[in-house]
A and B are shown apart, each in its own frame.
Chain A
Amino acid sequence: MAKKEKKNGFWRARILTRFRGERPAVWSLRLLYVFLFIALFGDFLANEKPLFCKIDGKTYFPILYQYGVDLGLASWEPSLIRARWRDLEYESVVFAPIPYSATSLDTRNTHFAHPFRGQQVKSKRFWHWLGTDQLGRDVAAGLIAGTRIALLVGLGAMALASLIGLFLGTMAGYLGDRGLRTSWLRLVLNIAGFYFGLFYGFISRAYLIGAANLEGNGPAAVLTGLCWLFGMLLLANGIGYLLERGLRLRKPVRIPVDILVMRSIEIMESIPGLLLILALAALIRKPSVWYVMGIIGLVGWTSIAQFVRAEMLKVRRQTYIEAAQALGLRASRIMFRHALPNALSPVLILIAFGVARAILSEATLSFLGIGVGPEEVTWGKLLSEARSNFNAWWLAVFPGVAIFLMVLVFNLLGEGLSDALDPKGDEKGE
C-alpha cells in the first residue's frame, strides 16, 4: 500500500530514473522534441517567402512580416501582395531551407516531379528533394505542414478527451452512486436551467447558428449557445443558493453519478468509433482540422474515464482521503486536489497511447479525404495521392514514414512510461 504513495519526491525520482533507463523511450522523447520543433518553426523551415531579402535598397523579413499581416498589425505593399517570391529580383536574399510553402504551386514541376531527376529548377537551391505532387506542390514542405497538423490534432484531441475523461472518471469513482447529494430544489432548478439554457442557447437560435455555419462561423455561434446554457445553469444555482438559505428547503436527494457515467461510457463504446467519426466529419460543410480534432476528442474519452474511475475506487479508501474527509473539506476539493493527483501518473500512459491513436485516426480520415479542408496539407492526404499515380513512389513512402515515426514515438513513450510506473518494475531488475 505504501508503494501507492507516489507523490513524495523519492518515488518520483525513482520513476524518473527508471524512465531514463528505458532507452527506446528516451530516444522517442528526443524525436518528439524534433517533431515539436518542426511543428513550431515550420514556417521558417519551409516557406516560399524568403527569411530575409533586400529589394531596391529596402530590407524585408517577409516570413516574420507575414505574422504581423496575419495578426492585422501590418499590411503588404501593393507590389508585394501577389508577389511570386521565387521569381523576384533581389539584391540579396536568404530563403528558408525549403523554399516552398506546403500550398505553393510550382508550375514548372507539376505532374509528380521525381525527387532525383528531371526537375525544371533555376538552381539546386530550388530542387524538390522529396519530389512534388500532381499540382506541383513540394512534398517536403507538405510533410512539414503535416507535422503541425498531426501534432495539433493528436495533442489537442487527447487534451479534450483527457479533460472529459478525468472529470467524469473522478466523479464516478470518487462519488459513486451515493456520494453526490443535493437538495430536491437544486435538482429541479438545475433541470429547469438546463431546459431553458438548451432552448435559448440552441433551439431558439437555430436560425442564427445555421446562418453562421454557412458563413464558416459555426463554432463561434455554437460557443455562444454554450455560454447561454452555462449562464442559465449558473442562474439556476444562484437562485437555488438564495432559496436554500431563505426557505431551508434542504431535503436531500442522491444522484447516481456512477451509473450515469458508466452508462454513457457503455453507449460511447458501443458505437464503432471510426464509423461515428466518419459520419460526423461528413456532416460538416466547411471541413477543417479543428473539427476533426474536436470529434476525435469527443469520441475518445471513455478509456481514460474508466481507468480513472478504477483508480479512484482504490484511492478513496486510503487513509489520507479519510483524513481529509474528517477535516471537513469539500468533496470537490478532496476529489481534484487530493485524490486525482495521486491517480494521475498512470493516466499518462493512456494519454500517450491515445495520442498515437488520435494521430492515426486523423491520418486515416484525411487519407480517405474526409474532414480536411482543401487548403490543408496533411500526411494522410499526401499519402492518398499515391493511389492516383503508382509511379509517384515518393508520395507513398515519405508521408507514410512520417506517420509511422510519429505513431511509434508516442507508442514507445507509452510503453516506457508503463514500464517506469509499473510497481513490479523492481522485480525485473533481478
Chain B
Amino acid sequence: MGAYLIKRLLLFVPTLVIISWVAFGLSLLAPGDPVMGLCADQGILIEGEYQRCARQYGYDLPPFYFSLSPAAYPDTLHRIQPQYRRHMLRDLIAQTGNWPDISVYDQQLEDVLKTAMTMPDSLNRQQKIDVNQTLRDLRVAFKPGQVDYLLARLDSMALFSAYSAYLTGKTGELLRQWDRIKMQATPTLLIQPDWKWYGTANRYHRWMAGLVTGDFGTSFKDKRPVGSKLRPALFWTLCLNLSAFALALLLAIPIGVYSALRKGGRMDRFFTVTLFGLYSLPRFWVATILVVFFTSTTYGGWLDWFPSIGLGTVAADASGWERFWVRASHMLLPVLCQTYGLLAFFARQMRGAMLEVIRQDYIRTARAKGLKEEVVVWRHAFRNALFPIITVLSALFPASIAGSVVLEVIFAIPGMGMLTYDAIFAADWPVVFSVLILGALLTMLGIWVSDLLYGIADPRIRLGRGDRN
C-alpha cells in the first residue's frame, strides 16, 4: 500500500509536467503583448525601456528548450523587440522565406524611422506627421499589397515633401530591397523542417523554476506577484467550500441513512424526489434568484433578508467577533448555494452505499444476535457504508473549488474563481495559468488522499498489484 501511494505521488511529476506544457502552450497562444501588459505605465515608448522590461521578465528568451520551425526562420528571432516588429518579420518570412534580405529591409526601415524622428518640426509639421505615420504603418505591414502601397506613398513623400533632403535615396533603397525580397524568395526553405536547440536559457525553464520555488510570476494587471494574490483568494475559496462541505455532510448523513432504512417509504420517496430536483437545479440560477429577490429592497423591504453581495465592510478597529459576524453573514448565501448541490449528491451516494451494506449477511447476523437497532445501524452498517463516501468526498473537493467560480462571481467573493474570472477578462494570463496549475495540483492531491483513505478504510484493498484487468 505504502509503495503504491509513493508510486502515485511520483506519478504526479510527469502529469504536472504535461499540464505545465498545456498551460504554457496556451499562454503562448494568448493574444496581446505581455511586455506591454507588464510595463505599459512605465513609459514604454522611451528608447530602450521596452527592451529593459522584456529582459527583466525574460521575454527576450526563446520560449522553450527547442523549436521546430521551417529552416527559413533565423534562430535569433526571439531577440527582436518589440513584439510587433518580431511578428512583422515572422510574417514576412512566412511568405517569402528570404530572411537575409528581410533583415536588411528591417535595418533600413529602422534607419529611416530614426531619421524621420529627428526631422525638424519647423519645415512642415503636417508632412512630418504623415511621414512618421506611414513609417509606423510599414513597421507592422506584412501583406504584399499593403507594403507596396505604403512604400509608394513614402516614395512620393520623399520626392515632393519639405523633407525630401532627409528621405531621398533612403526610400529608393527601401523600395529596391523590398523588390529583392519578393524576387529572391526562397520558398524551399519554408518546407524544410529545422530543429533549433536553445538550452535552459528559455522562458519555460524560467517559469518552471519559478513555480518550483513558489514564484508564480507577475500579474499583468497590478504587477504584484501572482503568489500574493493567490493566497487570500485561496483562503476565501477554502472558507466557502469547507463550510459547504461540512454542512452538506451533516445533513446528508442522516438523510441518506434514514432513507435507506425506510426504503420505499413516504419519507424516502419525498427525499429522493427533492434531492433529485435539487441535483438538477443549476446553482448559478438559484444564486441569481437569491441575489435578485433577497438582498435588496427592490421587491419591498420585507424581502431584504440578507446583506448585499461582497464581503461587507468592517471598521479597522472592529473586534474579532464583529469581524467574523459581518463576514459570516455575507458568506451565508454562497455557502447555502454551494451546500445544496453537494447535499443532493452526498445524500444520494449515502443512501446507495447504505442500501448495499444493509442487505449484507453480517447485518442480519448482528440483528439476529439481538443487538440494538442503533448499534446495528451506526456501528455495523454506517461505518462500512462510509468508505465509498470518503473517497467520493476527497475526489470531489477540488472539483467543487473549480465549480465555485460562478458563485464567487455572483456573490462577489474575492476567491480563486473570482480571481480567475477577472484575470481572464483583463487578459492577465500569468494568473490564469497559475490557477490552472494550482487547480491541477489540488485535484491530484485530492485523488491521492482518496486512495489513501480507501486503503485505510478497507484493508482488503491491495492497490498496486493486480488492480489492472
Q: Complex: how many Å from CA A44 to CA B468?
A: 54
**By the criterion of a CB under 8 Å from any partner CB, how many residues of chain B are at the interface?**
62
User: Per a CB cutoff under 8 Å, which of B23, B424, B433, B468 touches A370?
Assistant: B424
The residues of B that contact A397 with a CB separation of less than 8 Å are 289
Chain A proximity of B355: nearest CB distance (Å) = 11
Interface string of B400-429 (1 = CB under 8 A from A): 011101100110000000001100110000
Residue numbers in B under 8 Å from A266 (CB-CB): 11, 15
Say yes or no: A411-B279 contact (C-beta < 8 A), given A274-B403, A279-B26. yes
State whether A207 touches B19 (Cβ < 8 A): no
Verify A272–B440 contact, CB threshold 8 A: yes
Q: Is the CB of A204 closer than 8 A to any CB of chain B?
A: yes
Binary contact readout B20-43 vs A (1 if CB under 8 angstroms, 0 otherwise):
001100100111000000000000
B291 within 8 A of A: yes
Q: Mark B292-327, 1 if CB is under 8 A from A, else 0.
A: 110010110000000000000000000000000000
> Which residue from B26, B402, B442 sits with its C-beta under 8 Å from A283?
B26
Please, how many angstroms separate the alpha-carbon atoms of A204 and B18 in the complex? 24
Quick check: A360 and B282 within 8 Å, CB to CB?
yes
Q: Which of A196, A270, A360, A411 contacts B15 (CB 8 A)?
A: A270
User: Are A200 and B440 in contact, with the CB atoms below 8 A?
Assistant: no
B444 at the interface (CB under 8 A from A): yes
- With an 8 A cutoff between CB atoms, is B69 at the interface? yes
Q: Contact: B26 with A367, CB < 8 Å?
A: no
The yes or no answer to B70 lying at the interface (CB within 8 A) is yes
Q: Does A275 contact B (CB under 8 A)?
A: yes
Q: Quick check: is A80 within 8 A (CB to CB) of the other chain?
A: no
| Contact status B436-A279, CB under 8 Å | yes
Interface residue from A207, A271, A370, A383 paired with B436 (Cβ < 8 Å): A271
With the chains together, A149 CA to B70 CA distance in Å? 41
CB-CB under 8 A from B244, the residues of chain A are none
Residues of B with C-beta under 8 A to A391: 298
The residue that A271 contacts in the complex, of B94, B292, B293, B439, with Cβ under 8 A, is B439
* A residues contacting the other copy or chain, number (CB 8 A): 55
Would you call B191 an interface residue if the criterion is a C-beta within 8 Å of the partner chain's C-beta atoms? yes
- Whether B277 is near chain A, meaning CB under 8 Å from some CB there, is yes
CA distance A274 to B190 in the complex (A): 39
A-chain residues with CB within 8 Å of residue B81 when the two chains form the complex: none
For the residues of A in contact with B, the DSSP-based class is: helix
Contacting pair B444 A275 (CB below 8 A): no
CB–CB A203/B68 < 8 A: yes
Residue numbers in A under 8 Å from B29 (CB-CB): 283
Q: Complex formed: what's the CA distance from A192 to B89 in Å?
A: 30
A405 closest partner in B (C-beta): B280
Contact indicator A274/B285 (Cβ below 8 Å):
no
Please provide the chain B residues from 270 to 290 with a CB less than 8 Å away from any CB of chain A in the complex: 276-277, 279-282, 284-285, 288-289
Cβ A279 vs Cβ B433 within 8 A: yes
Q: Does A258 contact B (CB under 8 A)?
A: yes
A171 shortest CB reach to chain B, Å: 15
B440 touches A393 (CB 8 A): no
Q: Does B83 sit within 8 A of A, measured CB to CB?
A: no
CB-based contact A275/B435 at 8 Å: yes
Q: Which 10 A-B pairs have the closest CB atoms?
A: A207-B94, A272-B402, A400-B285, A272-B439, A408-B280, A390-B298, A282-B424, A396-B292, A274-B402, A270-B440
25 CB < 8 A contacts A-B: A200-B191, A207-B91, A207-B95, A267-B15, A270-B444, A271-B439, A271-B443, A272-B398, A272-B442, A273-B399, A274-B402, A275-B405, A275-B436, A278-B424, A283-B30, A363-B282, A368-B405, A380-B284, A386-B288, A387-B292, A387-B410, A400-B282, A400-B289, A411-B276, A411-B279
